[in-house]
Amino acid sequence: MKLSAVAAGIAGLTGSALAQDSVPVTDAETGITFQAFNSADGVSYGIALPVNASAAGGYDIILQVTAPIEIGWAGIAWGGGMVYNPLSIVWPNGESVVASPRMAYGYYQPEIYEDGTLTLLKGSGANATHFKVTVLAQGFSSWTDFDGNVAHLDGSAQVRFAYAYSRTPVDDPASVESTFSIHDSVGRWVHDLAAARSAEFPKWVAENTLPSPPCGRRVVAREERHPVVPRLRDSGRRAGAAARA
């Protein structure tokens, strides 16, 4: 009896270890159904994809991050590790929020990721206990990896992502280009992207698109806003932009 209970426990553990870590959640504010991962630290990463998202990449993503207000910044690494894949970093800024596209070229401060844009949608803001960031992420499903090859996020598969967060606020919360300090914690999980796909994706984007700035606070990091010249990249490493265009 005891033994079989232990065996059942082990089987359960094995099952969950092999399974993916995301669950479907519908956000009441936007009406979007995300496939979401809830980290042990109370940060949630919800992802919604177009119905035809595939191993070919090149598709847009809706990302929703919800975090306790004590979190200074939180981020997702779309390629599952810190370096040479696009990162989406979010933080609170008063009652508003900021989403910053980044890429790290080493284990130091990530730079602005010029081939990606994060556009705030409805369902973004901060209150006394939490902040919530809902963004249309463009340029994050294809990128140039360390070897200069184009990598794609397989939207039809279960994919390994990484997260990181810090309790220390970023240095200049109002700026998408703000520097910030190293994470207090990092982790990995497996996200079911096939289950994140929906034919409602275009409707969700249309219904949750904010009016033009200043009200919409469109957060776009492009060359004209960010004069930093990527030091470690060569001109061949821009295929992500082409895939997006």
Provide the minimum distance between the beta carbon of 157 and ligand HEM in the complex, in angstroms, as a whole number. 19
Q: Are strands 96-103 and 185-192 parallel, antiparallel or unpaired?
A: unpaired
Q: Which residues bind ligand HEM (CB under 6 A)?
A: 75-77, 81-83, 87, 89, 107-110, 162, 164, 180-183, 186
- Euclidean distance between CA atoms 120 and 218, whole angstroms: 6
Q: In this chain, which residue has its C-beta nearest to ligand HEM?
A: 75
Contacts of the segment 144-148: beta carbons below 8 A, 24+ positions apart: 144/84, 144/233, 144/236, 144/237, 144/238, 144/239, 144/240, 145/79, 145/84, 145/85, 146/83, 146/84, 148/234, 148/236, 148/237
Instruction: Indicate the residue among 173 and 216 with the shorter CB distance to ligand HEM.
Output: 173
Instruction: Indicate the residue among 187 and 216 with the shorter CB distance to ligand HEM.
Output: 187
Instruction: Indicate the residue among 94 and 107 with the shorter CB distance to ligand HEM.
Output: 107
- Euclidean distance between CA atoms 101 and 117, whole angstroms: 6
Provide the minimum distance between the beta carbon of 202 and ligand HEM in the complex, in angstroms, as a whole number. 28
Instruction: Indicate the residue among 114 and 198 with the shorter CB distance to ligand HEM.
Output: 114
Provide the minimum distance between the beta carbon of 38 and ligand HEM in the complex, in angstroms, as a whole number. 17
First-to-final CA distance of the chain: 61
Provide the minimum distance between the beta carbon of 204 and ligand HEM in the complex, in angstroms, as a whole number. 24
Q: C-alpha 98: how far from its chain's center?
A: 13
Instruction: Indicate the residue among 110 and 155 with the shorter CB distance to ligand HEM.
Output: 110
Phi-psi domain of 51 (left: phi exceeds 0; alpha: psi -120 through 50; beta: other): alpha
Provide the minimum distance between the beta carbon of 176 and ligand HEM in the complex, in angstroms, as a whole number. 14
